Amino acid sequence: MRIVLLGPPGVGKGTQASRIRERLGVPHLSTGDMLREAVRLGTGPGQAARAIMESGDLVPDALVGEMISERMSRDDARGGFVLDGFPRTEAQVEILDGILASLGTRLDRAVLLQAPESEIVSRISLRRSCPACGSVYHLRAQPPRKDGICDRCGAALVQRADDAEDIVRARLAVYREQTAPVAEIYLRRGLLREVDATGPADAVAANVALVLDGATAPGAAA
Ligand code: AP5
Write out the DSSP string of 13-55: HHHHHHHHHHHH---EEEHHHHHHHHHHHT-HHHHHHHHHHHH
State the sign of the Cα–Cα–Cα–Cα dihedral 165, 166, 171, 174.
positive
What per-residue confidence (pLDDT) applies to 179? 96
What per-residue confidence (pLDDT) applies to 215? 65
74 occurs within a structural domain: yes
Q: Whose CA is nearest to atom 2 of ligand 1?
A: 32
66 occurs within a structural domain: yes
Would strands 81-84 and 28-30 be described as parallel, antiparallel, or unpaired? Answer: parallel
Task: Look at the chain and report how many structural domains it folds into.
Answer: 1
Which atom of ligand 1 approaches the CA of 87 most closely? 34
In three-state form (DSSP H/G/I as H, E/B as E, the rest C), the secondary structure along 78-143 is CCCEEEECCCCCHHHHHHHHHHHHHCCCCCCEEEEEECCHHHHHHHHHCEEECCCCCCEEECCCEC
Which atom of ligand 1 approaches the CA of 32 most closely? 2
Q: Whose CA is nearest to atom 50 of ligand 1?
A: 12
Tens of pLDDT along the chain (222 residues)? 999 999 999 999 999 999 999 999 999 999 999 999 999 999 999 999 999 999 999 999 999 999 999 999 999 999 999 999 999 999 999 999 999 999 999 999 999 999 999 999 999 999 999 988 888 999 998 999 999 999 999 999 999 989 998 999 999 999 999 999 999 999 999 999 999 999 999 999 999 999 998 765 554 443
Helix, strand, or coil (residue 3): strand
Name the CA radius of gyration of the chain, rounded.
Answer: 17
| CATH code at position 50 | 3.40.50.300
What per-residue confidence (pLDDT) applies to 216? 59
Point out the residues that are catalytic. Answer: 13, 88, 127, 160, 171
Distance from the alpha carbon of residue 181 to the mean position of ligand 1, in angstroms: 18
The closest of 35, 133, 41, 30 to 72, measured between CA atoms, is: 30
104 occurs within a structural domain: yes
What is the CB < 6 Å shell around ligand 1? 7, 9-15, 31-32, 35, 52-53, 56-59, 64, 85-86, 88, 92, 123-124, 126-127, 136-138, 141-142, 162, 171, 197, 200-201, 204
166 occurs within a structural domain: no
What per-residue confidence (pLDDT) applies to 221? 43
31 occurs within a structural domain: yes
Q: Whose CA is nearest to atom 20 of ligand 1?
A: 32
76 occurs within a structural domain: yes
CA distance 159 to 125: 8
CA distance 123 to 130: 16
The closest of 88, 161, 107, 174 to 129, measured between CA atoms, is: 161
> What's the domain range around 32?
2-116+178-212
**Cβ distance 81 to 3 under 8 Å?**
yes
99 occurs within a structural domain: yes
The pTM (predicted TM-score) of the whole model is 0.94
135 occurs within a structural domain: no
Q: pLDDT (tens digit, 9 = 90+) per residue, 115-138?
A: 999 999 999 999 999 988 888 999
